[in-house]
Amino acid sequence: MPTTMDQQLVTRIVEAALLAAAQPLTVVQLHGLFPLDDPAPEGSVESALQALSTACAGRGVELVEVASGWRFQVQADVHPWVARLWTERQTKYSRATLEVLALIAYRQPITRGEIEQIRGVSTNSNIIRALEERDWIRVVGHRDVPGKPELLATTRGFLDYFGLKRLDQLPPLSELKDFGELEPQLPIAGIETAGSGSGSLSSADIADDETGSSESEPDTVSPTTRDDAMPASSEQIDEH
């Protein structure tokens, strides 16, 4: 007969798994750590997450739920110091790249043509390719118009990178002067900063690679949008 596992052991197992994992873990995945013939007591995994989150108060790390699950990450107030560990690896994103990313994040699903219409300049294919390879955007369908242009939207990877669970946690666009103001959140395990990405990108891929832009372009992106029209998550966008 299997013995009932106590809450302290469940909490230790959950903590160890989150620290060892290279990506966020869902509650289902955490339950999967326990064999079917000796499962964790009902509610114990959720209690463990709550206890670990509470225990992080006042520490340099926090336990948060992002789009892909739960993870430990660096607290925001100590982030600037810890981020210096990876300064040499960070990629500097061009204004054009940040504008395109902002438009996709706030106006999704959106086509490349619509992006160009709002920005008033053509968009270099390298920008779209780089954001796709970075796993920040993906094709979610096609607009039902001649040519069937691809509809672009953000991914769970985009939300994870910026420490978000849902798109409605993005700051209002009217308050965001530069998308680069959104700092990435550093996970404790499998740390991925602006330069580590998928391993296939270099700063040359996505920095200063816009064609057709001019110095007279505005410094900020100002598309008209409604916050209440924003989908709850990038995974809830219907195929078109």
Q: Where along the chain do its domains lie?
A: 7-79, 84-236
> What pLDDT, in 10s, does the model give residues 119-178?
999 988 999 999 999 899 999 999 999 999 999 999 999 999 888 899 988 888 766 665
* 81: Cβ contacts below 8 Å, ≥ 6 apart: none
Q: What is the mean pLDDT of residues 183-201?
A: 48
Would the CATH topology of 7-79 be identical to that of 84-236?
Answer: yes
The CATH code belonging to domain 84-236 is 1.10.10.10
Can you give the pTM of this predicted structure? 0.64
Distance in angstroms (rounded) separating the CA atoms of residues 139 and 144: 14
Angle at the Cα of 155 from the Cα atoms of 70 and 46, rounded to 5 degrees = 15
Decide: 94 and 210 in contact? Cβ < 8 Å: yes
* 202: Cβ contacts below 8 Å, ≥ 6 apart: 91
* 107: Cβ contacts below 8 Å, ≥ 6 apart: 114, 118, 223, 225
Which fold does the domain 7-79 belong to in CATH? Arc Repressor Mutant, subunit A (1.10.10)
Residue 168 backbone phi and psi in degrees, to 5: -70, 0
